[in-house]
Each structure stands twice: as C-alpha cells, then as structure tokens.
Amino acid sequence: MVEYQSEKLKDLLKAMVRCCGERMAQEAKRLGLPHSEMECLELFDGERYLTTKGIAQRLGVAKSRVTRIVDGLVAKKLVLRSDDPNDARVKLIALTPAGRKKAEEIESILHENHRRVLLQLPSGERNRVMTAMETLWTAMETVKADLDQDEDRSLETG
C-alpha cells in the first residue's frame, strides 16, 4: 500500500509543480520578464536587500546564473547593486521603486491565482485541504532534515 501511495504522491507533486511552473511562466511572459527574473523578484518579499549567494541558495542555482539574472533586472531598472559596507567582496542587491512595484504586482497575481484555486474547492473542504498540505509540508521538511543529517554524516566518515 505504501509503495502505491508513494508513487501516487510522486506523480501528484510532479503534476502540481509542473502546473505551477507553467502558470508562472505565463505570468512572467505577461509581465515582460523571464521566469527566472520573476522568481528572483519574489525572493525580496519582506527583505530590504539580498546577496548573490543568498539568491543562488534560495533559487537553487549557481552564483554565475544569479549574476545573469540580476544583470537583467539591473538593465530593467528593477534592482540596484551596491557594495556591502562590511565586506567589499559582497554585493547587496535591493529593489528600486519600480522593482518594488513589480514585486507587489507579482505578489498580487500569485494571491489571486491561489484564491482562484481555493474557490475551486467546496467551502467545506478548504480547511481539510490546507491542514493536509501543512501536514505534508511538515513531513517533507522532516525528511529533508534527516537526509541532510545523513549526508553530513557520510561526509564526516567518508
């Protein structure tokens, strides 16, 4: 039974990620941004500035890729680069007023898309779905932490 459920979970998550990716790509195109730039702007939610390294970690890409993404955002006047006053090797990346406006527009689009998804569910089901998703997220975070510990141990012994 667990094998079947494991396969089903994999398929559902893959389909959901693909659906979200396709939707995001459509929204990015509508906003006149490459998908990667839109994803980068989303990272600034609640952040005054980010670093190239921080963006790379959060997007799961190489720092060289982030440099190209940020170059595109700088060219569009959506972000500014400045030196970190504590470490000249580090560049701080901050939203410009136009970048903040674009990030708010992205957030608004995402909020509306999620609202529309919820409205597809019967009202009595919404809380159950949200609870199940929170439970799934917690389980995924636990497994991720376990795998990270396993990896750390294997690096120590190997």
pTM beyond cutoff 0.85 = no
Which pLDDT does position 155 carry in this prediction? 78
Q: Does domain 2-120 have CATH number 1.10.10.350?
A: no
| CA neighbor of 136 nearest in space, from 46, 4, 6 | 6
| Per-residue pLDDT tens over the stretch 34-55 | 999 999 999 999 899 999 999 9
Contacts for 40 with CB less than 8 Å, ≥ 6 apart: 55, 59, 66, 69, 70, 73
Q: Where are the domains of the chain?
A: 2-120
Show the low-confidence residues of the chain (pLDDT under 70).
158
Joined together, the tokens standing for residue 59 give 């997007």
